[in-house]
Amino acid sequence: NAGVTQTPKFQVLKTGQSMTLQCAQDMNHNSMYWYRQDPGMGLRLIYYSASEGTTDKGEVPNGYNVSRLNKREFSLRLESAAPSQTSVYFCASSASAPDTQYFGPGTRLTVL
């Protein structure tokens, strides 16, 4: 079992560029989450999907979109990157919402 995987691990973008962060889990979990982590701010929820076919906004959704492609995959898209989106992004999954969460390795994104 790979658990939760994320791609890419690192990314540098220029302001205005777009990109999609990919996340997949092989634990047959129903719920998936996207967080960003900034120094001194802890983990902040961007979007979550309580179950396949549903998505909801978290604390900081502006500038992001998500797609729950199937039960395994949950992607995060930045349509027009801004320097304020420079952060470490974590994907997580749980058997149900809410429950113990299992995190991916993270994506370190820098927007210039």
Element (H, E) at 55: none
* Min CB(17)–another protein separation in Å: 25
Query: What distance in Å separates the CA atoms of residue 73 and residue 52, rounded to the nearest whole number?
Result: 9
User: Which lies closer to another protein via its Cβ, residue 18 or residue 54?
Assistant: 54
Dihedral pair phi/psi, residue 84, rounded to 5°: -65, -10
| Tokens 């302001």 found at | 15
The reply to whether 74 sits near another protein by the rule CB under 8 A is no
Q: Which stretch binds another protein (CB under 8 A): 8-16, 19-27, 74-82, 93-101?
A: 93-101
DSSP code of residue 54:
-
The reply to whether 11 sits near another protein by the rule CB under 8 A is no
Residues that bind another protein (CB under 8 A): 33, 35, 40-45, 48, 50, 56, 58, 90, 97-98, 100-106
